[in-house]
Amino acid sequence: MANDVNLSASIRTNLLSLQRTNALFERTSERLSTGLKVNSALDGASSFFSARSLNNRAGDLTALKDGMGQAIQTLKAADKGIESLTDLVSQAKTIAEQAKEASAQISKIQSSAAASTTNVATTLLSAAFTAVSTTNTLIIAVNGGQTVTVAFTATDTIQSTLDSITAVDSNVTATYNTSTDKIEIAATAGLEITVSGSNPANFGIAAGTTVFGSTGSGSDITDLEADFEKVLAEMNKLYQDAGYKGINLLNGNDLTVTTNENSTTLSITSSTLNVTGLGFTAATATWTTSAAIDTSISEAATALSTLRTAASGFSTDLGLLQTREGFTQDLISTLEAGAGLLVNANLEEESANLLALQTRQALGTSSLSFANQSQQSVLQLFR
């Protein structure tokens, strides 16, 4: 064509060489800037799509690993809850054992007022039972058994009154304390004495009141029973607070964890570790007999066993999850490394290539200039 420019063979050769050098320079610069030798399917379709597949799987596993990490935190929250519940159950068991020790003492009640030091029946009874006139009664029952009415008058002798009370039950003994001038009623250790009648308040108790494990421990058992129930109430609060992100393994919320991209799962079965779930009959206690305290101690021991079993199960699940999490992390690293082998650039090599190409580019430019000088000599003929 008329508009075509004809280049000499030497110039065209040098030009093509310089173009190839510039193309390599651009490719090398791109590899250094991205860190990849395969930046698109055009750079190598097989390597590009294989690496993408590996990276996609690594991404899926990373999301699953995050879920495993959250499941591990849920298990740790449950484990902390079990530790605290174990402390509370141990505390409750200790309180019950203290009550058991107190109940081993002789149950004893005494008249609230001192009798006359003359030890005369009339003045003794009048002082001990302030409302006595000509007659008085006490209704006594042992361990909730059949009640026995003891009637006496101001003319009864001291001993006859004591004998009448003692005759109520073979485990009951009535005595007159000459040091305190008070009448005392005692029962075998661990038994309860229920006193009622016209004036039981003169024994320092209200009508129908049960006295159990007194003589320095009567009020203690009542207080210990209240402490025991307070601990049980705290158990019923604590187990509800052992959840993590809406899942409470101590309150009946099972947990299912997906462990791979094929939707394989690991199921963690929960428990309901409230007071009744731990084996206690109820959140209240009635320690009116030694046997009732024994029941509470036995229930506390069962609760401890239940907690240890639950802790062992959760420990196994935690170990499985941690192993799976570690394996998943290693697999993610392997997949990412494999993808890198396919597409990552060797930065040291590419840096060396860039320096070589810069030199080649400079040489190509100079060579093209030299080739062009032969044509410039023709131009001199026109000057």
- Angle CA(246)–CA(247)–CA(252) in degrees, nearest 5? 130
* Element housing 152 (H / E): strand 148-152
> What is the average pLDDT value for the chain, to the nearest integer?
78
pLDDT value for 204: 57
From 91-105, 112-126, 244-258, the region with the lowest mean pLDDT: 112-126
Task: Identify the band that residue 216 occupies on the pLDDT scale cut at 50, 70 and 90.
Answer: very low
| Domain residue ranges in the chain | 59-102+222-335, 106-215
Query: Residues 115, 222: contact at Cβ < 8 Å?
Result: no
Q: Do 59-102+222-335 and 106-215 agree at the fold level?
A: no
In contact, 113 and 204? CB cutoff 8 Å? no
Can you point out the beta strands (E) in the chain? Answer: 107-110, 136-142, 148-152, 172-177, 182-187, 192-197, 210-212, 255-258, 265-268
Res 162 pLDDT > 60: yes
pTM, two decimal places? 0.63
Rounded CA gap, 316 and 75, in Å? Answer: 10
Q: Which CATH architecture has domain 59-102+222-335?
A: Up-down Bundle (1.20)
Residue 206: pLDDT above 70? no
Q: Identify whether the C-beta of residue 324 lies closer than 8 Å to the C-beta of residue 67.
A: no
Give how far Cα 240 sits from Cα of 99, 132, 234, 314, Å: 29, 57, 10, 17
pLDDT, tens only, 80-102: 999 999 999 999 999 998 888 77
Cα distance between residue 69 and residue 148, in whole Å: 69
Region at 216 (left for phi over 0; alpha for psi -120 to 50; beta for the rest): left
Q: What residues are paired with 265 via a beta bridge? A: 258
**Full strand arrangement of the beta sheet holding 172-177:** 107-110, 182-187, 172-177
Strand ranges inside 72-212, DSSP E = 107-110, 136-142, 148-152, 172-177, 182-187, 192-197, 210-212
- Closest C-alpha among 242, 243, 184 to residue 215: 184
pLDDT at 31 over 80: no
119 pLDDT tier (thresholds 50, 70, 90): very low
Q: How far is CA 29 from CA 19, 113, 376, in A?
A: 15, 108, 35
Q: Which residue has the higher pLDDT, 2 or 188?
A: 188
User: pLDDT for 270-305, tens place per residue?
Assistant: 999 999 999 999 998 888 777 888 899 999 999 999
Topology of the domain comprising 106-215: Immunoglobulin-like (2.60.40)
163: confidence class by pLDDT, cuts 50, 70, 90: confident
Higher pLDDT, 145 or 279: 279
Structural tokens at position 288: 């009116």
Beta strands in 32-133 (DSSP E): 107-110
β-partners of residue 186 are 108, 173
- Tell me which of 58 and 32 has the higher pLDDT: 58
